[in-house]
Amino acid sequence: MTQRTLTIIKPDSVENGNVGNIIAHLEREGFRIVAARSLRLTQAQAGAFYAVHRERPFYTSLVAYMTSGPVWVMCLERADAVHYLRAVMGATNPADAAEGTIRAAYGTSIERNAIHGSDSAENAAIEVAFFFAASDLV
Ligand code: CMP
């Protein structure tokens, strides 16, 4: 079933010049880019986006990191997009990510892990709507 998901190419990837490599990797894996833009998250945006992690010890640091520089947000489409993207990204901690995954190639720590992907179809819909209007999705 064709499905949509949300990815964020994180500040470390932008800083290290890996945006093009990551987009090429995603296209090679059959994702169609439905919408994309770069932006710098505000504290309020990053805090709200990661609100589910509010009680976690890494939350303050995560919000500081995600607002430290520009990111690229994209809505991606393909069959089984949510699960497939998480497989292509690799484990949260790049040290545990399988060879050939985006986080193994470009992530440098559990926080600076190159890319975010929605963890469920329900959250994908919420996260896509967080960044894009229906008219942006083409
Ligand atoms: P992401 O998939 O965007 O979801 C939450 C983010 O929190 C995660 O990627 C990491 O960038 C960051 N993070 C930092 N420390 C941890 C941790 N100990 N466990 C999980 N996520 C962490």
Contacts (Cβ under 8 Å, ≥6 apart) of 78:
2, 3, 29, 30, 31, 32, 84
* Domain residue ranges in the chain: 2-40+71-136
Cα–Cα distance, 129 to 118 (Å, whole number): 12
- Catalytic annotation on 25? no
Helical packing angle, 19-28 and 81-89, nearest 10°? 130
Instruction: State in Å: Cα 135 to ligand 1 middle.
Output: 30
Question: pLDDT at position 87, please?
Answer: 98
Pocket, ligand 1, Cβ cutoff 6 A? 53, 58, 62, 92, 110-111, 113, 116
What is the DSSP pairing of strand 115-117 with strand 71-79? unpaired
Q: Mean of the per-residue pLDDT values for the chain?
A: 98
Question: pLDDT at position 110, please?
Answer: 98
16-51 pLDDT per residue, tens: 999 999 999 999 999 999 999 999 999 999 999 999
Question: pLDDT at position 25, please?
Answer: 98
Task: Name residue, tokens 């470009």.
Answer: 106
Which segments of the chain have a pLDDT < 50? none
Question: pLDDT at position 133, please?
Answer: 98
Q: Classify 2-40+71-136 by CATH class.
A: alpha beta
Q: How many residues does the chain have?
A: 138
